[in-house]
């Protein structure tokens, strides 16, 4: 994860949450009041957020000491201690909600991705995310997918060409759409084409694209279409695939299964924050 981008994101989140000052904490505590914040897991899952905890509190206050008990990708259990944060109480309290919100969401994504990877149980096919992410959180959410054992699809629209049904309809054909983009892109940019039937697949193969996405295709037809695609073209399966259905795709030997639900249909993993206050330091 890009630490510089993360810090800029955290600054935005803190500005949103803190405003000019914490009108509760700042009038009850002072910087001489010291405490310890302990973060614990409340349910089973895959943890994601060590950089969030470290970067957030160091950004708020360099006098805060962060001790992590787990790493990204570790399985956590209820009541398990995740981190112990020690320092001025105002800083501990001001960082708590932003930190918890982020690690709960990212751990939820990592947990769901890990469930999908384990459900598929394939030594070949990889589970990928999509661009169906929360605006402003894409870098973090895609990182959480990797922590859970998945891979990332495009981060942005300029990462790769993806020719879908609307592009094909406007251009008139797959081959024409491919020709138009190929004239304008660099040699490092891959071309992916969405295919829904045999005609689409054959035309995409003829156009020598890099990736063919089989979108919303029934299982019995998938077997037939995959046989038409040379092994040097990456195959991707997409379109409303649910985690419980993944085992039936295991024997297809498709390269990638992309799932939007990894990031847009998730349940956050629950964590608690407990405070202990010490006497005012001298």
Q: Which residues pair with 273 in a beta bridge?
A: 39
What is the spatial distance between Cα 164 and Cα 194, in angstroms, rounded to a whole number? 5
Residue carrying the six token digits 């939007």: 260
CA 112 to chain centre: 10
From 126, 132, 180, 182, the catalytic residue: 132
Q: Retrieve residue 227's tokens.
A: 């046989």
Opening angle at CA 234, ends 131 and 159, nearest 5: 40
From 97, 165, 206, 242, the catalytic residue: 97
Side by side, the strands of the sheet bearing 34-41 are: 65-68, 81-88, 34-41, 271-277
Q: What pLDDT digit, counting tens, does each position of 158-200 carry?
A: 999 999 999 999 999 999 999 999 999 999 999 999 999 999 9
What is the spatial distance between Cα 214 and Cα 264, in angstroms, rounded to a whole number? 21
Residue 67: how many CA atoms within 13 Å on its side-chain side?
Answer: 7
Nearest Cα residue to 234 out of 253, 217, 214, 212: 212
Residue carrying the six token digits 């405490």: 35
Q: Do residues 68 and 54 lie in contact, with contact meaning Cβ atoms separated by under 8 Å? A: yes
From 43, 61, 81, 215, the catalytic residue: 215
126 is catalytic: no
Q: Do residues 217 and 194 lie in contact, with contact meaning Cβ atoms separated by under 8 Å? A: no
Q: Inform me whether the pLDDT recorded for 281 exceeds 60.
A: no
Sign of CA dihedral 55, 57, 62, 67: negative
Q: What is the dihedral of CA 17, 21, 22, 28, to 10 degrees?
A: 170
What is the spatial distance between Cα 86 and Cα 186, in angstroms, rounded to a whole number? 50
194 is catalytic: yes
What is the spatial distance between Cα 199 and Cα 180, in angstroms, rounded to a whole number? 20
What is the spatial distance between Cα 162 and Cα 213, in angstroms, rounded to a whole number? 9
Domains of the chain in sequence order: 3-116+267-277 (3.90.1170.20), 123-264 (3.20.20.70)
What is the spatial distance between Cα 237 and Cα 120, in angstroms, rounded to a whole number? 13
Average pLDDT over residues 134-150: 97
Q: What pLDDT digit, counting tens, does each position of 229-269 carry?
A: 999 999 999 998 999 999 999 999 899 999 999 999 899 99
270 is catalytic: no
Give the whole-number percent of the chain exceeding pLDDT 70: 99
How high is the pLDDT of residue 282? 47
Give the whole-number percent of the chain exceeding pLDDT 90: 91
190 is catalytic: no
Q: Indicate the pLDDT class of residue 278, thresholds 50, 70 and 90.
A: confident
34 phi and psi angles, rounded to 5 deg: -110, 145
Put residue 49 in one of left, alpha, beta given phi > 0 → left and psi -120 to 50 → alpha: left
Q: Do residues 61 and 87 lie in contact, with contact meaning Cβ atoms separated by under 8 Å? A: yes
Whether pTM > 0.85 for this model: the answer is yes
From 54, 141, 194, 203, the catalytic residue: 194
From 164, 206, 267, 278, the catalytic residue: 164
What is the spatial distance between Cα 96 and Cα 89, in angstroms, rounded to a whole number? 11
Give the chain's mean pLDDT.
95
What is the spatial distance between Cα 32 and Cα 213, in angstroms, rounded to a whole number? 59
215 is catalytic: yes
Q: Indicate the pLDDT class of residue 116, thresholds 50, 70 and 90.
A: very high
Q: Inform me whether the pLDDT recorded for 126 exceeds 50.
A: yes
Nearest Cα residue to 70 out of 61, 79, 83: 83
Average pLDDT over residues 69-85: 98
């Amino acid at each position: 994860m890009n630490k510089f981008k993360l810090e800029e994101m955290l600054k935005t989140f803190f500005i949103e949450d803190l405003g000019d000052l914490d009108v509760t904490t700042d009038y009850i505590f002072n910087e001489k009041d010291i405490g310890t914040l302990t973060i614990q897991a409340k349910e089973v899952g895959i943890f994601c957020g060590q950089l969030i905890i470290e970067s957030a509190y160091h950004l708020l206050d360099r006098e805060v000491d962060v001790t992590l008990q787990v790493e990204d990708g570790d399985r956590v259990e209820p009541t398990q201690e995740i981190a112990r944060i020690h320092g001025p109480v105002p800083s501990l309290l001001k960082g708590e909600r932003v930190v918890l919100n982020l690690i709960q969401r990212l751990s939820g994504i990592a947990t769901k991705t890990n469930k999908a990877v384990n459900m598929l149980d394939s030594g070949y096919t990889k589970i990928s995310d999509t661009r169906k992410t929360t605006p402003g959180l894409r870098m973090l959410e895609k990182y959480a997918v990797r922590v859970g054992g998945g891979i990332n699809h495009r981060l942005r629209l300029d990462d790769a060409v993806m020719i879908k049904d609307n592009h094909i309809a406007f251009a008139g054909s797959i081959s024409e759409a491919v020709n138009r983009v190929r004239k304008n892109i660099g040699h490092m940019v891959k071309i992916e084409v969405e295919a829904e039937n045999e005609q689409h697949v054959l035309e995409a193969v003829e156009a020598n694209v890099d990736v063919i996405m089989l979108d919303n295709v029934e299982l019995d037809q998938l077997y037939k279409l995959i046989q038409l695609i040379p092994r040097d073209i990456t195959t991707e399966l997409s379109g409303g695939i649910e985690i419980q259905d993944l085992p039936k795709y295991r024997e297809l030997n498709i390269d990638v299964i992309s799932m939007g639900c990894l990031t847009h249909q998730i349940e956050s993993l629950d964590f608690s924050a407990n405070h202990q206050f010490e006497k005012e330091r001298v």
